[in-house]
Structure 1
Amino acid sequence: MSKFMQKLQSKIVRVLDKRDGEVNAPSNIPALVQPPTPRQIYHFRKQHGVNLGSWFTLENWLTPSLFQQAADPKSSEMDVLRGLGPQGAKSMLENHWAHLIDAGDWRWLVQHGINTVRIPVSYYHFLPGHPDPEIRRLMHGTEFEPFAEIYTNAWKYVVSNAIQAAREFHIGVLIDLHAAPGAQNTDSHSGLSGGKAGLWDSKEYQKRTVQILVAMAQEIVKYDNVVGLELLNEPKNNNRLMSWYDEAIGAIRAGLGNDAQDLPIYISDAWDTNWYSKYVNNHSNPASFLVLDHHLYRCFTNQDQSKSASQHANEVHPSNNGPSASMLANASKETQGSLVIGEWSAALDPASLSSYPDHGSKLAAQREWGVAQWEAYDKHCAGSFFWTLKKEGQDRGWCYYTAVEQGVIPAQADRFKAAFREGKHSVQSLEAQGQMKHQEAMQAHVAWWSQHSSNPNEFEHWRFEEGFKQGWNDSMTFFFGGEELGGSEIGFWGQWKRLRTEAHRKERGNSKMVWEFEHGLEQAIRQFKETLL
């Protein structure tokens, strides 16, 4: 057995044997000799994901059967409660939470290359059952306070049926606060049907939402397969949002203390991608793992409807320099890879398919659109989450099951996982490839700077060499992460680079040439992927 595999087994496999899903990860910067831990692999791997929409936060167009007795206008979860009353709503919802997603679903997801799920939850799922009365009091005065009794068991279902059940299948979980007090946007998926983003009209609600997020973070950080906490789903963009992000991130980091590094924080770009890309880059550091979430749909606006499926596909496919592809590339560059597509679909307005004469051509056009997106997100993003896994009635645009079955998106979401399962690469072959790539990269690096620098002696090329070796070995550990986490790819390469560079500074001394270590590590991660695929 190679030294690499011996190190891997001693550092990773024994940790994976913990069955409760909780670990105590070190709060300091890990040493360079320490290979990525299971928690780090969950957090930093590329996330091939799907949303579990309308499991907890209800949406009438996804699960209309739950809205049959809802009060008018039958569009939000509040309407369901008002229509059914406390006893009827509690019985129906607990049955729904217990059975919508089961072991068969988790197994199917793993078989199709899904390694992470995004789960929309609301403040009223979290607060009523909390053991701390001070946390429960955060429900007071909110729209859902009269219905708190309905939700006393909701968070138990989130933990047992979602977080812990997902971990049994080695699936990561992104917890997304989909509805805040007062509603953060005007859509009914924020829990209310009033069409008003009341969160932004109430300083009390804004403060309370921060407190809710801190308490939620303290709960979910216990689980190594929770990949992050998303502060708000699709918040209304306004001049308060950025400062509220500052407050929320600061409070969560302070509330977690030494565990702050163990929970990535995701923020919505509120469809102002350029601005919030800069925000994420400016606020990220080795102790602050921030991720930007963009939602990409092309079926709602007049402009969307004026374009055919092929036009939409051409605009997003990474081989073209279309506006959607360029937006993703620029955001990825600005955030140093900390970009995910938190929601996307294969859906199009019927107008975008009207020029295709028959069912077969429409299906092919929709497949072109779905595959183009998948290729773009795989190239430019650290993860993507299809919306959504299940929708009542077959719908190849919005239901992941149907989209896979009808071929509008690839059946295998993860190329790395597929290569791992097929056994295309052995440890020995990739170690040999790494040595060859390292020599080539080192020679090219030294030669370039010898030719393009007025003072070649000022460089510390040994830092580049160490960075390349580090990046290759880390990529190997992600890929050969045991049977449970094997087939993983470093997705959040920029944040991983921050961690390793900080360790390099501590262990090897700081200098103006530390950038050489960064370049070497980044090149190795990129070349490992090129070698593997």
Structure 2
Amino acid sequence: MKFNLLPILALISSSHAWLPFEENREPLLGRDGSSLFKNSLSSDGKRWLPGSTPIRGVNLGSLFVSEPWMMTPTWNGMNCPQSEPRSEFDCMLKLGQTGGDAAFQKHYQDWIPESDFDKMASYGLNTVRIPVGYWMYEDIVYRDSEHFPRGGLAHLKRICGYASNRGFYIILDLHGAPGAQVANNAFTGQYTPNPGFYQDYQFDRAYKFLAWLRQVVHENTEFRNVGMFEVVNEPLREFEDSGKTTYMRNTFYPTAYKTIRDKEASLGITSNNYVHIQFMNKLWNSGDPQQYLTNNNFAAYDDHRYLKWSGISQDKDTYLRTSCNDDRSGDAAHGWDWPVLVGEWSLSAPLDGNQEWNDYWRPDNNKDFYSRWFKAQVLAYEKHVAGWIFWSWKTELGSDYRWSYSAAVDAGVIPKDLNSIANSGACNGF
């Protein structure tokens, strides 16, 4: 369905900086021109959760930062490497720049069609988080030693246009940082045993990327609903290398924050239109992200909650009990790391991959459990923090819907009416 954007665009600035439910801010507008984030009432007239409608979103995983584990048929069809290391860097090294560019251009075009945004809206979702890599800013790529696809920006612009046209709130996440922020993980764009991000010249490239992206967002109407930048996704944890995490917090975090604010000031953006700047929260265990910040105005924090890696007992009752009582907000008064979004979570269980497909956990004959666990997590994340963003909208994992929101809806595990969760009784007994 198409609609006339002109009346709506007359009411909004080039980009929305605020969280969509904040008071005294111009609301994000849906296709009918009404506020997408107005208070949501249940059928009995009571607010089903306190406050305004929370963030309810999905990650657009593997769109601009490919993760082969979740898109194997597409990855294989692109003729990318079939064995480790497998990352965008490795695929481009194999295919060459011209062939690789063509393969990734097709992937960008095909992975999430415009019609998927209509589905997201019909399911009651209101937010998308879009992982991107620094190589989207092609000027900072070392062409003699780094191998990444070109031409991503035009597709990011198109995708954000689809989302903005439907009133979605948009978070842009630096998922792949220069030099890679963690070892041996395709989500950084380069599968490397030595994360090279934690040094000045790589930080400098990240600052250039963030400043560039802020200007792009400001100058193109397709990005008008971008309200948040995440400065780096899932960096090292303190137990992995406390020196690097400390250097990140005392150097990269405050400078990244200042870089974005300086760019906004240079563009004449008023302070009420600043984007939120997001950091991984204290629970990620990279240290307190606010420790060295001298200004945290319009800062936000990202919590990733995968119970399979949380150290709890691997049984269904423990999963349900943990989720039903899960407060990820920090202290009771939100004295730190606030506002918080649970920016990644899933239905994947258990930790032991050998058990994933036994009768106790397999997805096809445990739909009732996975549906209840989804609802339990939603109840917790909407009660204690500002909302949630599921990983991910789409995968190519066949019958395993546990990582795919769209597949879980198709399987009847995730309800199309999210407001129905309030009275579902998912946490009765827990």
TM over 0.5: yes
Instruction: Say whether the 8 Å CA contact 1:122–1:179 is kept in structure 2.
Output: yes
Shift of 1:232: 0.6
Partner of 2:384: 380
Gaps of 5+ in 2: 30-34, 38-51, 238-244, 423-430
Shift of 1:42: 7.8
For 1:110, the aligned partner's letter is A
For 2:402, the aligned partner's letter is G
Partner of 1:507: none
Partner of 2:347: 346
Shift of 1:405: 2.4
Instruction: Say whether the 8 Å CA contact 2:61–2:394 is kept in structure 1.
Output: yes
- Residue among 129, 153, 163 paired with 1:118: 129
Alignment of 1:133-532 (within 5 A): 136=139, 138-140=140-142, 143-144=145-146, 146-147=147-148, 150-151=149-150, 153-160=151-158, 162-186=159-183, 187-200=185-198, 202-222=199-219, 223-237=223-237, 238-243=245-250, 244-257=252-265, 258-259=268-269, 260-262=271-273, 263-269=275-281, 271-272=283-284, 275-276=287-288, 279=291, 283-284=295-296, 288-300=297-309, 303-304=311-312, 306-317=313-324, 320=325, 325-328=326-329, 330=331, 333-335=334-336, 337-349=338-350, 351=355, 356=360, 362-392=366-396, 393-413=398-418
- 2:3 is the counterpart of 1:23: no
Instruction: Say whether the 8 Å CA contact 1:120–1:178 is kept in structure 2.
Output: yes
* Cα distance in 2 for residues equivalent to 1:188 and 1:212: 20
- Rg: which structure is higher? 1
For 1:140, the aligned partner's letter is Y
TM-score scaled by structure 1?
A: 0.63
Shift of 1:195: 2.6
Match of 1:330, SS? coil
* Cα distance in 2 for residues equivalent to 1:332 and 1:277: 18
* Cα distance in 1 for residues equivalent to 2:27 and 2:299: 19
For 1:77, the aligned partner's letter is E
Instruction: Say whether the 8 Å CA contact 2:180–2:189 is kept in structure 1.
Output: yes
Residue 261 to residue 415, structure 1, CA distance change in 2 (3 Å):
farther
Residue 48 to residue 242, structure 1, CA distance change in 2 (3 Å):
same
> Once structures 1 and 2 are overlaid, which stretch shifts more, 327-336 or 98-107?
327-336
Alignment of 1:55-94 (within 5 A): 55-68=63-76, 69-71=79-81, 72-94=83-105
* Cα distance in 2 for residues equivalent to 1:207 and 1:390: 33
Instruction: Say whether the 8 Å CA contact 1:188–1:195 is kept in structure 2.
Output: no
For 2:306, the aligned partner's letter is Y
For 1:163, the aligned partner's letter is C
> How many residues get paired?
372
Gaps of 5+ in 1: 1-12, 28-33, 129-135, 419-533
Identity score, percent: 24
Shift of 1:82: 1.7
* Cα distance in 2 for residues equivalent to 1:397 and 1:25: 32
Instruction: Say whether the 8 Å CA contact 1:353–1:362 is kept in structure 2.
Output: no
When the two chains are superposed, the root-mean-square deviation of aligned CA atoms in Å is 3.4
Q: Please state which structure has a larger fraction of its residues in helix.
A: 1
Residue 358 to residue 346, structure 1, CA distance change in 2 (3 Å):
closer
For 2:232, the aligned partner's letter is L
Instruction: Say whether the 8 Å CA contact 1:344–1:387 is kept in structure 2.
Output: yes
* Cα distance in 1 for residues equivalent to 2:15 and 2:226: 13
Shift of 1:204: 0.6
Instruction: Say whether the 8 Å CA contact 1:309–1:348 is kept in structure 2.
Output: no
Residue 247 to residue 405, structure 1, CA distance change in 2 (3 Å):
same
* Cα distance in 2 for residues equivalent to 1:154 and 1:358: 37
Residue 158 to residue 274, structure 1, CA distance change in 2 (3 Å):
closer
For 1:216, the aligned partner's letter is L
Instruction: Say whether the 8 Å CA contact 2:363–2:400 is kept in structure 1.
Output: no
